[in-house]
Structures are given as structure tokens and as C-alpha cells.
Structure 1
């Protein structure tokens, strides 16, 4: 099933993100970085892992059909969200991370997608979380992930990131939190 290949490719991309994130975290800590909002990180990992599993489980066990108009449109949205995510990573460079790590003394980034959006990586996450399951009509997974992501994660993560940036800028100069979900 091609859908399983797409979900597996997404899982591999997530693993690559974790490798990049770990490397960037080491750099950030070596440069005085301070981590905030650690409490929600395990829930975020669990929810994103569950998304990948649930996409395939729902498509398989509920015998969801592939509807070409929906499926190809959703795939295009997933690819666009990946492009936006990697644009965020490229723009933030070493500052990007899956965790909230603020490096004091660095200016805020206002380039790339950050010119137009304060949290473009979260836009990528929301689009992908909705679109990936819909490639193969796994609408329950799309709705449940989107709601849980909004209620359990983004509601806490974005304010935690904003607080971390505000603290760093109040304590002396600029800061950069390279975070992604």
C-alpha cells in the first residue's frame, strides 16, 4: 500500500528531525542555552507517534478507501507542510530544535517564513496532522490528532515558547528559541 510508504517516509523524516534536533541542542547548551517547557515534550512525542500509527491502523482496519481528489490534495498539503518545516529549519539553522531552548544574546530571527508568521513550524504541524491521515481517508485520526494537538499541546507549547523568549529578552538583550514540533 503506497499510503504505508508515505507514512513510513514521514516517520523517517521525524527521526531525521530528532537527529538534527539533538545536534542543535548540544550546540545551544554549549552556547548557554536554557531549556523551558520540558513537561509537555513526552506527550508531544507520544501524540506524533500515535498519529503515524493511527493513520495506517484506521485506513487498514476501517477499510478506508483512497479517494483520488481528497488523497492527492492531502498529499500535496503534506508535501507543502514538509517544505515549510524544512524552510523553518534552514532559516533558524542551529537555533531550530524540537525542544524549547533559548540561547541568550542572539537576535530574534525575522527571515524566511518568520517574516510573515510568528510560528510557521506549527502551521506545518497542523497542516500535516490534518492532511496526512486524509491521504487515505482516515478522517477520525485527522480530527482526533488535530483536536488533541490544539488542546493538549499547542495551547501550552506556544505560550511556553513565548514566555521563554520574553524572559530572555528581559534579562539582557535578544534571544532566539529555535523550536519546532
Structure 2
């Protein structure tokens, strides 16, 4: 608010409201069913504060046998196990060569200091069997990448995750197929 004197009126100050800036646009709240089971919190629990996720893009090739997630800092390549390995095997198959070459090319363009390779299985069989198989598969991918990238200052971490961290429902074959995968993660650009 500012005070202004008007001419010819004994210079009496008059209050005049200045236009206030418009508030930033706020989308209307999303209607939420407070009785929905998926939204129930245990007594005394609170929601975590909201966070901003920095994913720039997520893509999958048309055949569905590989995917790519890219954030401001990292790149994660996902290769489906059916493309890399025969059933219950950790030996790379003939179709794996092209996918490993593509991954090696992208890794080479970014020159990361560390590459993390996670192997995953579905929930069929024992957890211990899945752990051993996923570890051997992650190690097979590591060896193939190292052979293509040559000796460098890059270190590798391989982890067998068995059925942990599924990306789909293990109760269907389609879901189990998505869960059988190898993920290759590394920092964007040179170094971490």
C-alpha cells in the first residue's frame, strides 16, 4: 500500500492499494479415497516429505529386451536375462554379444571410474539358488564388459540380488521374465 496526495485537496494523504502479484499456479489437489487400503498408514506413522526425483528419461527398446534409465548423475542399462543367457545358465549366449557391445560403447563414452553390475532372478526355485545364479550372471557380464573395455582405471562391483527388488509381479510368467535381468550402472561423464 502507498500513500498519495491528490492535487487540490489540501494535500491530504490517500491510501491506494497496489496490485499484488498473482500467486504461483497450484494445481487442484488430487482426490484421495481415505478408506483405500493402499493408503493406510500404521497408527502414528507419517508420510515422508516429498522429494524431487532427477530422472531425465527412461526408455525401453521395442523388443522389450533392454532398457535405459538416465538421471542427472547416473545411467542404468537393463538387459533381460533371456537375451543374455539360456535358462538356469550363467554362460553368455550368442545374442548377448550385441547387447554387451552396446553397453560397452556407452560406458566407454562416459569413462566412469566404477561400474556396478546387479544380477536378478525371479522367485522360482530357492533363494540361495537364485543368489548364486544372479551372482554368476553379474560376473559373466563383468568379464565380457572388461574384455571389451580393456584395462583401465575402472573398477567393477558385481552383486547377485536373486529375487530381491522385483520390477514386476512374480505371479505371472510375463512378470518373472521382467525380473530376470542384469542392470549395469555407472556415473555420467568422466568419473563419479
Shared fold, TM over 0.5: no
Q: Which has the larger radius of gyration?
A: 2
Range class of TM-score, shorter chain: under 0.3
More strand by share: 2
Task: Specify which structure has the bigger relative contact order, considering alpha-carbon pairs within 8 angstroms and separated by 6 or more residues.
Answer: 1
